[in-house]
Amino acid sequence: MKNSPLILDIKGNSLDDGPGIRSVVFFKGCPLDCAWCHNPESKKRTTEISFDKGMCIGCKSCIDICQSGAISFDNQYFIDREKCSLCFSCTDACPSGALSKVGTFMEVDNIAERIIKDKPFFDTSGGGVTLSGGEPTIDISFTSELMKKLKSEGIKILVETCGFFSIDKFMDLIYPHADMIYFDIKIMNCSDHKKYCGVPNDLILQNFIRLHDEYRNGGIRIIPRTPLVPGITDTEENIKAIADFYTEHGVKQADLLSYNPLWHDKNAMIGTDNPYSSDKKMKEWISRENEDSCRKIFLNAGIEFP
């Protein structure tokens, strides 16, 4: 059985994941475990089952077919993931698609085929493919194969990464085929980083410094980005620390990503708890003032926005 990464989704016509019109490949699996993750279904490497309450028509075909007795309307998350054997008979039987399989194995050629269809749009708009997820470096060899295939078709590639990978492997297998990198810098304080993201940040920061140096020496463009999460990353302390880090390493361009609260229901869909389900600040769009004050800190440090 192949140990290759699973694919969550291939989203076409994305205007927000890099320049031009792009297709985004979402890998399943991530070495981090951020508390605010907007795609919680991308954290685990293995397949999962998702239930969208809004699409359910109550026909009970799933309950009828389930051999493990894992499905019940009494259950808070509809499916008891402990009992579920992941046989996916229910997702097959579901007429509306409320039950769906999360994470599919796809061959490199398969993925490429889906993407190549949109190449004419990439060409006209200066777009291409964005590798995201989860974490696209979750299986560096596989991703490398995919990148080689896409490159051979003349498609530009942007890698969106959390930065937690082996730098040698990355330089060897990913870097030669990439055209641009988006690199997440979330939290500067190491113990906070471990607390909120599951791992310490020293490897991440090291990797960033290395890649940014490469860029300064003629390598591919890398843009660090910080998701603004209310009360966690958007604090003055964190933003200032990040700005200082950039200044120290000669980073001239960086981005801040606005917070959007539309992820809350996603946890329930895959049967996990949402630690912020009753957090008021987390439920709202970030305020203009907040965002502006964060941006100001960067601007004052001489950092430009792309």
Q: Is residue 79 helix, strand or coil?
A: strand
118 binds another protein (CB under 8 A): yes
306 binds another protein (CB under 8 A): no
CB 135 within 8 A of CB 32: yes
Minimum distance of another protein from residue 150's CB (angstroms)? 17
CB 224 within 8 A of CB 184: yes
Q: What is the distance between the alpha carbons of residues 303 and 250, in angstroms, rounded to a whole number? A: 9
Minimum distance of another protein from residue 232's CB (angstroms)? 24
Q: Segment contacting another protein (CB under 8 A): 112-120, 200-208, 231-239, 274-282?
A: 112-120
Minimum distance of another protein from residue 92's CB (angstroms)? 10
Minimum distance of another protein from residue 55's CB (angstroms)? 8
> Binders of another protein among 53-82, rule CB under 8 A?
55, 57-59, 61
Q: What is the distance between the alpha carbons of residues 259 and 226, in angstroms, rounded to a whole number? A: 10
For another protein, which residue of 47, 96, 189, 272 counts as binding (CB under 8 A)? 96
Q: Segment contacting another protein (CB under 8 A): 63-71, 93-101, 167-175, 201-209?
A: 93-101
Going 130 to 134 to 137 to 143, the CA torsion angle's sign is: negative
Minimum distance of another protein from residue 163's CB (angstroms)? 26
CB 171 within 8 A of CB 184: no
When the beta carbons of 51 and 208 are compared against another protein, the nearer one is: 51
Minimum distance of another protein from residue 144's CB (angstroms)? 26
Which residues lie closer than 8 Å to 160 by C-beta, 6 or more apart? 17, 18, 130, 131, 132, 133, 136, 181, 182, 184
124 binds another protein (CB under 8 A): yes
Task: Of 18, 274, 248, 36, give the one whose Cα is nearest residue 136.
Answer: 18
For another protein, which residue of 95, 154, 176, 250 counts as binding (CB under 8 A)? 95
Q: Is residue 143 helix, strand or coil?
A: helix
* Two structure tokens written together for 74: 């009494």
* Two structure tokens written together for 206: 């090291």
291 binds another protein (CB under 8 A): no
> Binders of another protein among 182-241, rule CB under 8 A?
none
- Residues forming contacts to another protein in the complex (CB under 8 A) are 11-13, 15, 20-21, 55, 57-59, 61, 95-97, 117-118, 120-121, 123-125, 127
